[in-house]
Amino acid sequence: MHEIKILGIESSCDETAAAVVVNGRQILSNIIHSQVPIHQTFGGVVPEIASRKHIENIVPVVEAAIHESGFDYRDLDAVAVTNRPGLIGALLVGVSFAKALAYGLNKPLIVIHHLHGHIYANMLEHPEIRYPAVCLVVSGGHTSLLYMKDQISYQLLGETIDDAAGEAFDKVARFMGLGYPGGPIIQKMAEKGTAGALHLPRVYLNSGNLDFSFSGLKTAAMNLWKKLERQGDASVNDMAFEFQSALVDVLVEKTLAAAKQYSVSTILLAGGVAANQALRDKMTEEARKRRLAVYYPSLKLCTDNAAMIAGLAYHHFIRKDFAPLNVNAQSQDSL
């Protein structure tokens, strides 16, 4: 049987990434160029700078992915690219490059939803996943719960009505003067914190509601931090521990509630915040009590990457779900 080799391109935020994946699972290359050192100065991603850096990086990143794969451009069966959602300028760099490459090679073009790619990162490493499943997608821009009857079906169950979890991490970390990105920094500080030293609210919304809200938690954390600073009793580690715990508690409780409500025995984690160790540990521990299986990608596949894009694109390829060359980027799109 002919092996389907797909080049994936990802540029939805501040990582320029390219990968070659065979038959939706075998990763031959996965090149990621991060802009984090550039945006740290500003405490967050600056869209205009991100777009310009994508323009500089996309050719060498794609060439590196092709070279590492051991194949040639002509060996590709298709070109896949993230076209939604994300920073519009950043997306346009990847989409424009992919369209031109697909046209020049006379190969099919496949467009991929960024969050669907994050979900598929699980399938790259865990072929044993059984469906139906509930998936928690949690990142800097998104916090959503989905019901999946199979690996490429998505039904939205709930989402954040204000701040995403990753956004809350970043804003609280910046407020405390810890830097960017906030998630990894707060996790590191929290490892030295004391449980129960401080208290922040857990916002579960109404019973049975599978939506999220983190704006109130963010505000409560900032107000508590200001109060502690005035009292000269500000422990960064204790604050990080309690904020992380409050956020993780809600994510886990809502996900378990969704699993119970929809009678599933499998839980998936996806997105950048799925790299958080406290979230992984608590979700696994609580799921085990309920005899539920939990899966999450390795750390490299939690953050933005192109292997997840090329992997998911295989399933579009076998259905001949190709995009026209006039397809455009979209800054927003529902799951």
Provide the CATH number for the domain around residue 45.
3.30.420.40
**pLDDT of residue 93 exceeding 90:** yes
Query: What is the pLDDT confidence band of residue 227, given thresholds at 50, 70 and 90?
Result: very high
Residue 232 and residue 135 share a domain: yes
Q: Are 198 and 277 in the same domain?
A: yes
The torsion angles phi and psi of 145, rounded to 5 degrees, stand at: -115, 135
Range of the domain at 195: 130-297
Q: Is residue 331 part of a domain?
A: no
> What is the Cα–Cα distance from 186 to 179, expressed in whole angstroms?
10
- pLDDT of amino acid 47: 87
Same domain, 152 and 227: yes
Q: Using one digit for the tens of pLDDT, what is the confidence trace for 156-199?
A: 999 999 999 999 999 999 999 999 999 999 999 999 999 999 99
Tally the domains of the chain: 2
Predicted confidence (pLDDT) per residue in 162-172, tens digit = 999 999 999 99
Pairing outcome for strands 266-270 and 133-138: parallel
Assess whether 242 and 145 both reside in one domain: yes
Do 177 and 308 belong together in one domain? no
Q: Are residues 110 and 31 in the same domain?
A: yes
Asked if residue 280 and residue 136 are part of one domain, the reply reads yes
Q: Cα–Cα distance between 335 and 13 in angstroms, integer?
A: 18
**What is the token pair recorded at 334?**
């529902």
In this structure, are 102 and 165 located in the same domain? no
Query: 11-20, 41-50, 209-218, 225-234: lowest mean pLDDT where?
Result: 41-50
* Average pLDDT estimate for 148-152: 94
Instruction: Quick: pLDDT tens for 67-87.
Output: 999 999 999 999 999 999 999
Report the sign of the C-alpha dihedral through residues 58, 59, 65, 66, in that order. positive
> Which one-letter DSSP state was computed for residue 212?
B
